[in-house]
Structure 1
């Protein structure tokens, strides 16, 4: 864990052991922390550098990346500010470590903040795997996402995310130019082996093979 107070996010960093792989930015869900998605990151891209920050907002003692007003109702002003702050952290951390922009792998709240960064600061990310994501902001993406690869994996029995909301996110990112693949799995809100297998294949085909 870093002790550098000039980087404002508590985080874990694992250096690459296999040169040439695009780093992964791991973004946990509500109640998680900087350790939660490290095993997933190692599965998805063995040997890649991993950057895993902890959300700075506490909700009933549980870390999140931005505030919400109710289940599925986000504090839009806070989303914008937190997305920009996280994008600043990503760019600073990658510059210091000599890495290119990472691929975000976010789950739930982590997927939503990754989507918000795509909306506002697309240059901070090379692409994204959004696991159980919702529309983070009601306005359309402001940035140019032309050619940016995005995988969205939704659950057909997800009690938290309406199917229409995930579809709207996919449509908005595609309208901004992203190369979106949206798949709906037989799953609820939690992750399954299918999520892992599909994300592994997508990353290998889209990025890890040398794009």
Structure 2
């Protein structure tokens, strides 16, 4: 597996004209967690799957939560800067040739949204699965026509009912092209999401 000082990652499939997927797993996951999903939704699209830098429970995470499960905003901010630096460096070094599509689940979806809040130029689109706003009171920078897919679970016990709406409204207020779906699901991924993501990538994916 390739290594860089900042992150451990695996890659799949050769680069071509489409933007690669940047896979950001959920809490307790690792760099392999979302690879089956990438294979199912975009079998021909290249990907880079990162391992979160923080050891967490049985795996890893991209940033720390407080004991009450609220976001540790200081840690999220610091680790977002680290990840933005990493993405900028792999673009500069031609490890990937185009800004990636951020595909994040849970902890990784919050990190992906945090990247959009701080440096959206580093991404070409985003798929946010079970997201939560990294800063509910903040204004996102201009995201005019930026493609974003959001999926939430109606029975998700880790999210409040309004969390998805807060995130959606923030992104839409910034001008993003948001496709948001509420599924009859909990926090885990639902089988319907495979077709949903695949279709969205065909229609909207750069």
Is the structural similarity TM-score above 0.5?
A: yes
CA distance change for structure 1 residues 94 and 15 in 2, over 3 Å: closer, same or farther? farther
| 1:158 aligns to 2:156 (yes or no) | yes
Aligned to 1:65: 62
Distance in 2 separating the partners of 1:176 and 1:140: 11
Query: 1:28: how far off?
Result: 0.3
Q: Can you list the C-alpha shifts for 1:173-197, whole angstroms capped at 9, x where unaligned?
A: 1111111111101111000111111
Counting only pairs closer than 5 Å after superposition, residues 94-113 of structure 1 correspond to structure 2 as: 94-96=91-93, 97-113=95-111
Per the alignment, residue 181 of structure 1 pairs with: 179
- Structure 1 unpaired stretches of 5+: none
Contact 1:150 1:181 survives alignment (8 Å): yes
Q: How far has the Cα of 1:42 moved from its partner?
A: 1.7
Alignment of structure 1 residues 92-131 onto 2, 5 Å: 92-96=89-93, 97-131=95-129
Give the structure 1 partner of residue 143 of structure 2. 145
Partner of 1:32: 29
Alpha-carbon RMSD: 1.6
| 1:149-186 Cα deviation digits (max 9, x unpaired) | 11110011111111201110110011111111111011
Distance 2:4 2:52 in 1: 17
Which residue of the partner structure matches residue 43 of structure 1? 40
In 2, Cα distance between the equivalents of 1:71 and 1:181? Answer: 30
Question: So what's the TM-score if we normalise by structure 2?
Answer: 0.93
Quote the offset at 1:39 in angstroms: 1.4
